Amino acid sequence: MARVKLIGENDHPELAETIAKIKGARGGRLINVYRLMLHSPTLADAWFEFNQAVRYGTEIDGQCREIAVIRVAILNNVEYVQRAHGPAYALKEGLTPEQVAAIADWQPSKLFDDKQRTLLAYTDAMTRQIDVADDLFAQVRKHFSERQTVELTMLIGTYNMFTRVLQALKIDPEP
């Protein structure tokens, strides 16, 4: 159960414009994470814009994006993000159900190519150790341009922050 009451779509008429913008990008739904964030409209609006940029305004392909997001959610034990990204986004980006399931224990899996394995190792290092070893960073640079490296690093960092907020506030997954 969420530690903070989720704001209903019609609870605050002054938020109608922000809610409409969010719903427009979310298939007409006001999902729980935004219902929580709307307690601080400025942060909800800023998060929406930033999250849209981090996820969709980059050169990162959808499969890499979803692998990184799901791996962060697994490492930080956040069911909300795992449930949202696994079936909904990852499969739409072309990952197989087997790949999505294997993200939790990716190292022995043969389902990921070298680029994806490097991304998973990078995600693990950023999330677990925070510091990334030079040899791993060199591997990242073999697969990703400078721009893509910055974008991936921002994506992984963003989802580390995001999952920690969701975990602290115990947000409920969507039904």
Structure tokens, 10: 């019609």
Could you tell me the residue range of the domain that residue 117 belongs to?
A: 62-169
Alpha-carbon torsion, ordered 65, 47, 175, 165, to 10 deg: 90
CB burial readout 67-79, b (16+ within 10 A) else e: bbbbbbbbbbebe
On whether both 49 and 75 belong to a single domain, the answer is no
On whether both 38 and 71 belong to a single domain, the answer is no
Backbone angles phi, psi at 109, to 5 degrees: -70, 145
What confidence score (pLDDT) does residue 85 get?
A: 81
On whether both 90 and 123 belong to a single domain, the answer is yes
Cα end-to-end distance, the chain, whole Å:
13
On whether both 46 and 102 belong to a single domain, the answer is no
What confidence score (pLDDT) does residue 86 get?
A: 80
On whether both 22 and 94 belong to a single domain, the answer is no
Select from 87, 84, 94 the least CA-distant residue to 116: 94
What confidence score (pLDDT) does residue 173 get?
A: 85
Alpha-carbon torsion, ordered 81, 82, 84, 86, to 10 deg: 140
Domain membership of residue 45 (yes or no) is yes
Dist. CA 67–CA 105, nearest whole Å: 12
What confidence score (pLDDT) does residue 172 get?
A: 87
Domain membership of residue 5 (yes or no) is no
On whether both 47 and 99 belong to a single domain, the answer is no
Instruction: For the chain, 175 residues long, give each residue's pLDDT as a single digit of tens.
Output: 889 999 999 999 999 999 999 999 888 999 999 999 999 999 999 999 999 999 999 999 999 999 999 999 999 999 989 888 887 889 999 999 999 999 999 999 999 999 999 999 999 999 999 999 999 999 999 999 999 999 999 999 999 999 999 999 999 888 7
What confidence score (pLDDT) does residue 175 get?
A: 77
Dist. CA 175–CA 165, nearest whole Å: 20
Domain membership of residue 174 (yes or no) is no
Q: How many CA atoms lie within 13 A of 76 on its CB side?
A: 29
